[in-house]
Structure 1
Amino acid sequence: MALLNNTQLRRKSYLRLLLRYVGVTFIGLSFALFYVVARKGMGAFANVIFSFCTISCMLCLYADLCLKLGGEMGGNVRLHKEKDCPKHGMLLGILSTIPYYVTYIILVLSKAGVIGNFFGWFKLINSPYLPLLDLFGKADTKAAAIPIDYLIIFAIFPVINIVVCHLCYKISYERIDVAKKVLYKNKD
């Protein structure tokens, strides 16, 4: 297998990110089906458990991509004198949030009355966050009835994608030994 330079890896990473997004959506919808069944008997506890599971799966898929890509691109910089690209993980994190923020803008327009009720669709399209969003309003909740402070909270949810993608990419790009840093103290 031929080695890919960082430009080729960058292009390939966008396709990988898109495939991860499809996987995240599929997993989110799968968990959403189980969540809908379980929430009747479990109540708010189901929201917490299923939120943790879906968001963890989503973050694992994105973290895996960024860890692998950071290692490859960092190796190319060190060994083949490729162009330095330490912020590519953050870019991938930002790109992973675009579908969420597009639907978020539509939700804000729905709250403003520009379009009809979109909250149910917003929750379904952003299925990894569905159990968490369900804490703030059920499927029949009208977007116009959502308080502004909830909208602000909704805007913050996907920031974790950006943070996780950036950190995972940086850890493998710079070959940071996390176990060594956590387990052993510096004797400086």
Structure 2
Amino acid sequence: PMAVYNSSSEVPMFLGITLNNIMVSFNCFAMGILTSFGTGYMLFSNGVMLGAFQTFFYQHGLLWDSMLAIWLHGTLEIWAIIVAGAAGLALGNGWLFPGTYSRLESFKRGAKRGLKIVVGTVPVFIMAGFIEGFLTRHTQLPDMLRLGLILTSLTFILFYYIYLPNRKRHGITKA
């Protein structure tokens, strides 16, 4: 089943996958205009699809191989889609929960906040697309190397989406 990554050459696969993922993330954000339910639906349906793939591979004795292949690029890709979903929820929540602002002002603030978030996913999708287009196809790579790349990607995600924003929020600017 992992042979699908050999169905196209590296550069077209990298470009196609990257652009598709960026479109999915911006759609996930834009669906927040439907009072967050559109974003919730997109996140749910993508989660079900991912779960169905993993279940299928498990049922055919390919769970470990599929996890190493999927999460090699998916660690970055899936997290970035989740973050884009958070941006969509920020957009929708601005509309739903205006607080002391007018609904329009709250929506504008939510849109601005969400747009900053979703634009920040683009470099992550570029990295994920590169990994998927150029590395995921090489299923013969040693498992420990692939696992190391997955853990490196996870470390980057934690740094980029948790550590850096917390430093900024708490006013920490020096190392």
TM-score by length of 2: 0.36
Structure (1 or 2) with the greater helix fraction:
2
TM-score by length of 1: 0.34
Point out the structure with max Rg over C-alpha: 1
